[in-house]
Amino acid sequence: MMRAEPVDSLDDPRLDDYRNLRDASLQRRRHACIAESLWVVERLLSPASRYAARSLLVSEPWLDDVRPVVESSAQNPVVFVAPPDVLDGVIGHHFHHGVLACAERGEPARAEDVLAGVPEGRALAVATEGLVDHDNVGSIFRNASAFGAACVLMSPRCADPLYRKAVRTSMGHVLTMPWARCERWPDELGRLRERGFRIVALTPAADAQEIGAFARTLDADARVALLLGSEGPGLSVRAQSMADARVRIAIAPGADSINVAAASAVALHRLGGGDRH
């Protein structure tokens, strides 16, 4: 049975987790992350979720849509139900998705623990350096999930994947994908090699091997970690020195490069078997 509690005041302290949502540092201090939209909240409440929901905040017209999602979940968060004007007033802008959830961040995972959870045999992983744009981070998590990656490792300067914008852009896959921030970057990339991964750096450099040709050399049970850098600077020299191979995506003459999130989708498809059938 869903635990629904009506809320009709902007000042209700039960809604404090939902205030000032654009303040990323405040969310971290609250040890919270925010899921927006019914589809993302459904992923948060799914068996695959790695996070526990504290509560939901639902606009009254969306209550019937939320009920089966909550009642089919093993989690049992309280559901605050508010008129649309109260919900908009609490979060500070018009919110047309109608459903939010607040989840516990929990303790940060360690890279060694994340990698220990990757099954033996063929596997994909993603490692990112210096990605400061939340949309790119969220999109890469979404692509990683779509193409079967087992985990994501991140450098210390990468944007917070649990910030609401990244969670939303990932369509909630941040909430189900194992990930860890590597404080000793790029040295901790060596943990991938210890687990049998070949580290493959993606770069637009002309002397890198075309990714399709490289992918066709991989064995059926290959373990590959795709290493991605930020737009503009790209991968640092130190990060590239950790790689076993450097690959590029062939693009039309005159084009400099493509967005890192789009590039991750192309590369993951190729490395995951798109050129080995």
9-37 confidence digits (pLDDT tens): 999 999 999 998 888 888 888 899 999 99
Q: Does residue 274 surpass a pLDDT of 80?
A: no
Query: What pLDDT is attached to residue 231?
Result: 84
Measuring CA to CA, which residue among 34, 260, 265, 239 is closest to residue 156? 239
Least confident of 44-48, 90-94, 238-242: 90-94
Q: Does residue 80 surpass a pLDDT of 90?
A: yes
pLDDT, averaged across the chain: 94
Which CATH fold would you assign to the domain 3-104? 60s Ribosomal Protein L30; Chain: A; (3.30.1330)
Q: Tell me 27's DSSP state.
A: H
Q: Which range among 21-35, 187-201, 247-261 has the greatest average pLDDT? A: 187-201
pTM reported for the whole predicted model: 0.94
Average pLDDT over residues 202-218: 95
Distance between CA atoms of 169 and 28, rounded to whole angstroms?
19
Query: What pLDDT is attached to residue 275?
Result: 52
Within 13 A of 13's CA, how many CA atoms are on the CB side? Answer: 0
CATH number of 111-274, picked from 3.10.310.30, 3.40.1280.10, 3.40.50.800, 3.40.190.10: 3.40.1280.10
What are the start and end residues of each CATH 3.40.1280.10 domain in the chain? 111-274
Query: What pLDDT is attached to residue 133?
Result: 96
Query: What pLDDT is attached to residue 1?
Result: 84
Q: Does residue 126 surpass a pLDDT of 70?
A: yes
What are the start and end residues of each CATH 3.30.1330.30 domain in the chain? 3-104
Helix extents (H) in the chain: 24-29, 38-44, 63-71, 84-91, 111-116, 134-146, 164-169, 190-194, 211-215, 237-241, 260-269
